[in-house]
Amino acid sequence: MDDRFSMAGRVAVITGGGTGIGRASALVLAEYGADIVLAGRRPEPLKKTAAEIEALGRRALAVPTDVTAPDECRALVDATVGEFGRLDVLVNNAGGGATKPLMKWTDDEWHEVLNLNLSSAWYLSRAAAKPMIDQGRGAIVNISSGAGLLAMPQAPVYAAAKAGLNNLTGSMAAAWTRKGVRVNCIACGAIRTPGLEADAKRQGFDIDMIGQTNGSGRIAEPDEIGYGVLFFASDASSYCSGQTLYMHGGPGPAGV
């Protein structure tokens, strides 16, 4: 193993850690030596993923958390430092949103989607940055979406939230990089996650057809994003901060 990618001795908090990209990222970081704290609203997926991490020989802690609640975000950081004595990596992965015409969205839905996809990263990053700055190093990885780079009339709130997350990444990097905390972002294309599969079933479309629009001709598996998280979490990206990496399979025939 290249030492630049080693996560030995490091502790990572991953939100939405029970399924999809969060689970995959947790397993990849654990394979490379990290101990993992899993956060999410549903305890059962967290416990299942924690067991998988422990089977790899790493420590795992499941902390049921509503990341839209500032107090619970601070409690998650406190639980992490209390259990492991440090916090080295934060992966702001929790997110999601519905698709429907712009004029069909209610004001409450606007706030719900913004809180889940953007406010959560604001609350948790500021809480996590404190112990990271105190120890002189840390890495924050925000999981965004290609929706934040495109016009999305069927998902306007989600797209706006992810665009905000891309920008917030740069602002946090500018504030904290000189203090030892790097902040980067991954804007994902279509990923084979439970959320996308459920949305496809509800709307009656084949998710594999989405992949035909990109250069790779397929959608991604969650662990492929997990290795992008590893890059930003590890010393392999030691000179990288404030960046948004678009992982979407490459430009397709239309050039996007």
> Is 158 tagged catalytic?
yes
Closest C-alpha among 5, 1, 28 to residue 222: 28
CB 66 within 8 A of CB 90: no
Pick the catalytic residue: 158, 227, 239, 246? Answer: 158
What lies within 8 Å, CB to CB, of 75 at 6+ separation is 63, 65
Token digits for 160? 């706006």
pLDDT of residue 222: 95
pLDDT of residue 2: 63
CB 129 within 8 A of CB 142: no
CB 142 within 8 A of CB 98: no
* Mean pLDDT, contiguous 10-residue spans, the chain (256 residues): 88 97 98 98 97 98 98 98 98 93 96 98 98 98 95 94 98 98 96 80 79 89 97 98 96 80
pLDDT of residue 204: 78
Please identify which residue in the block is written with the tokens 């004595």.
85
How big is the chain by its Cα radius of gyration, in Å? 17
Provide the CATH topology of domain 9-186+222-245: Rossmann fold (3.40.50)
pLDDT of residue 211: 80
